[in-house]
Amino acid sequence: MSAEQRLAKLGLELPPAPKPVGLYKPVVIVGNLAYLSGHGPLKSDGTLITGRLGADMDLEAGTAAARQTGLAMLATLKSALGTLDRVTRVVKLLALVRCTDEFEQQPQVINGCSQLFSDVFGPDLGIGARSALGTNALPTNIAVEIEGIFEIS
C-alpha cells in the first residue's frame, strides 16, 4: 500500500503547508534527500498548539501536538513533491519539546510524530534515527518543533 493510500485509509487531514515565518525555505532538496526545516503543531484551521509540557500540558496533549507537527511536515512534503509516494524513507528527526526543567518524557512526546510516520510510510521505512530534546522556549510558545531528513525518489 502506498503512503497516499495509507493516509486516506487512516482518514487523516493534512493542514495547509506552513509558510516560512523567517528567511528560510520550508524544504530543501539535495539529490535524493529532502531536508525539512523545523515545523510546529499547525492545525487545519491555521492555529498552533501551544503550551509547556509539565506545566499546562500533559504527556497525552504533548503526544497529540507531536502528531499534529508530523501532519504539518507531511503537508510540506506533499506540497514540495506532489505526492507522499515519493518519500522512500524517514532518515532522521530532530525534535524539541517546550517543557519544564522537571519534565523528562521528551522521547515519549515525540513518539506521536514517529508513530504517525510509521503508520503512513510503514514501520520499516517510517521510523528513522531520532533525537528528542527539552527546551525552555520555542517560537510563539508552540509545544513542539520537529525538523526532518527524508529520502526521496
Question: For the chain, what are the domain ranges?
Answer: 27-152
Q: How far is CA 40 from CA 1, 12, 30, 76, in A?
A: 28, 17, 23, 12
Query: What is the reported pLDDT for 21?
Result: 83
Per-residue pLDDT of the chain (153 residues), as tens digits, is 999 999 999 999 999 999 888 999 999 999 999 999 999 999 999 999 999 999 999 999 999 999 999 999 999 999 999 999 999 999 999 999 999 999 999 999 999 999 999 999 999 999 999 999 999 999 999 999 999 999 999
Question: Model-level pTM?
Answer: 0.97
- From 3.40.50.1110, 3.90.1010.10, 3.30.1330.40, 3.40.50.300, which CATH number describes the 27-152 domain? 3.30.1330.40
Residue 27 to residue 24: CA distance in whole angstroms: 9
Contact 130, 114 (CB under 8 A): yes
